[in-house]
Structure formats: structure tokens, C-alpha cells
Amino acid sequence: MKYPKIRELREAVISLVTPAYTTRFPKKEHTPFEGFRGKPVVDDQNCVGCETCANVCPSLAITFEDDREKGVRIIKRDYGKCLFCGQCEEHCITGKGVVLSDQIYDLSSFDRKTNVEYQEKELLICKNCGAIITTREHIMFMHKKLGPKAYSNIMNLKMLNEKLRLASREETKVELSEGELRRRDMFNVLCPNCLRQVQMKVFS
Ligand code: SF4
Ligand code: SF4
């Protein structure tokens, strides 16, 4: 039989009389230290559904699915997979869409589904080929960043018009040409590929 060494006995006695280093959660609320990286909290008003955070998330905790039929992008955030690395906060294009909080212990649960959050954002779909361009809020955010320069793009002009309500949606509605794209289709919501085709016709 091996007897414990003096050093080990000493450690055992010390640990009996010193308070625990670990937190007493859930008996006692845990107060994190300054700069603690806890659960990312989304601000839907400032999130434009751009996909950047999903692209930088190392653990694939953030995923996106585009539902063309419903015209929405579904953003899924599974905090059961989150590493609390802060990449989503650091790379968020609006700077305010997702911010790491100091909550972490509140994520403990017997049901992993309770740690999954969903968001929905309206998609912008090319009227000609049906390609997904991005979300409507993402384009609007870029308009805001660009300022007056946003008006240089005809599609942007149409969308800004809708936003400012200078004319009703009905008044600005342009039916897509049947068959080949035509010059007037520039006033429709088109993906970069289709817009390039129209421009080639206009300037050739
Ligand atoms: S903190 Fe890191 S792991 Fe967690 S959702 Fe953000 S990027 Fe992904
Ligand atoms: S990067 Fe920011 S704005 Fe873009 S989807 Fe993520 S949280 Fe939303």
C-alpha cells in the first residue's frame, strides 16, 4: 500500500479550511469579471441578416437557410455549440447586431433546443432569374452607408423610392419583359448577373 506524501496531506488539510474557488451557481448568482465573454445577444433591430457572422463562426453555431418560397432568410443560432470566441461581435457589419453578454451559466439546460434562437429576414430575389441577392435590410443598410452615392444604381433608386414613399409601390411597379431582358428592366430588382445583361444591351 502506498501512503500519501506529506505534500499531498498538507494540500488536503489546506483545501478543507479554505473557501472553494469555484462558483456556487445555481445556489448563488455568479458575477462575472470585467470583459467576460458570455452568450452572444442579438439585437434584431440592428441585425440585417447579412451572413457575415455565420461565415466567421468557427464552431458553425450560426447557420442560415433561405426559403425562396416564403421569401425569407432564417438565421439559426445554436448556443449549445458556441465557443464564446467573440468573432461574431467583432465582424458584425453594423457593429451592433450581436454583442457578447456576461450571461453564460443561464445556458445550462437539460434540453439543448432551449439554447437555439431563430430570426427571419425578408429576402431580395432577382425578378428575372430568381437568384437570391441578399436581404432587404442588408441592402437598406448599404444605402445608408453609401449616402447619396447609392442613387447611382437604378435598382437602389427604386428601393430608396419605396422606402421614402415618394411614390407608391404600385406607381413604381414595372412588369418584367417577357422573354429577353430589355432596357426598362433596369428599373426592376435584378441580381448583378441580370443587371449586367441589361446594361450590355443598353450600352452596346
Ligand atoms: S461567439 Fe464565436 S462561436 Fe459563439 S456564435 Fe459567435 S462566432 Fe460563433
Ligand atoms: S454580421 Fe451582424 S448584421 Fe450580419 S447577420 Fe450577423 S449579427 Fe446580423
DSSP code string of the chain? -PPPPHHHHHHHHHHHHSPPSS--TTTS---PPTT----EEE-TTT----SHHHHH-TT--EEEEEETTTTEEEEEEETTS-----HHHHH-SSSSSEEE-S--GGG--S-GGGGEEEEEEEEEE-TTT--EEEEHHHHHHHHHHHGGGGGGSHHHHHHHHHHHTSS-TTTT--PPPSSS--GGGGGS---HHHHHHHHHHHH-
User: Ligand 2 pocket, 53 CB below 6 A?
Assistant: yes
Is residue 146 domain-shared with residue 165, that is, in the same domain? yes
Mean pLDDT on 81-85: 95
Is residue 112 domain-shared with residue 142, that is, in the same domain? no
Task: List all residues whose CB is within 6 A of at least one atom of ligand 1.
Answer: 40, 56-59, 61-62, 82-88
Is residue 148 domain-shared with residue 200, that is, in the same domain? yes
Q: Which residues pair with 7 in a beta bridge?
A: none
Q: What burial class does residue 186 get, using C-beta atoms within 10 Å of its C-beta: 0-12 exposed, 13-18 middle, 19+ buried?
A: buried
Q: Which residues pair with 40 in a beta bridge?
A: 100
Provide φ and ψ at 63, rounded to 5°: -135, 155
Indicate the top mutation candidate among 82, 89, 102, 103 to test ligand 1's pocket, ranked by most ligand atoms within 8 A of CB.
82
What's the pLDDT tens digit per position in 109-154?
A: 899 999 999 999 999 998 888 899 999 999 989 988 988 888 777 6
Residue located via cell numbers 453578454: 101
Residue 8 lies in a domain: no
* Nearest ligand (C-alpha, residue 52): 2
Indicate the top mutation candidate among 87, 99, 102, 103 to test ligand 1's pocket, ranked by most ligand atoms within 8 A of CB.
87
Q: Which residue's alpha carbon is nearest to atom 4 within ligand 1? A: 82
Is residue 99 domain-shared with residue 62, that is, in the same domain? yes
Closest atom of ligand 1 relative to the 53 alpha carbon: 7
Q: Between the CA atoms of 125, 92, 46 and 169, what dihedral angle is there, to the nearest 10 degrees? A: -20
Is residue 98 domain-shared with residue 163, that is, in the same domain? no
What's the pLDDT tens digit per position in 54-71?
A: 999 999 999 999 999 999
Determine contact, residues 120/74, Cβ cutoff 8 Å.
yes
CA atoms within a 13 Å half-sphere pointing along the CA-CB vector of 36: 12
Write the CATH number for 72: 3.30.70.3270
Counted domains in the chain: 2
191 vs 177, higher pLDDT: 191
Decide: pTM greater than 0.75: yes
Closest atom of ligand 1 relative to the 56 alpha carbon: 7
Residue 18 lies in a domain: no
Answer with the one of 106, 125, 144 that is the final residue of a domain: 125
Is residue 102 domain-shared with residue 142, that is, in the same domain? no
User: Ligand 2 pocket, 99 CB below 6 A?
Assistant: no
Q: Supply the mean pLDDT for the chain.
A: 86
Answer with the one of 66, 101, 125 that is the final residue of a domain: 125
**Residue 100 sits in which domain range?**
34-125
What's the CA gap between 179 and 10, in Å, rounded? 87
Q: Does the pLDDT of residue 1 top 90, yes or no?
A: no
User: Ligand 2 pocket, 155 CB below 6 A?
Assistant: no
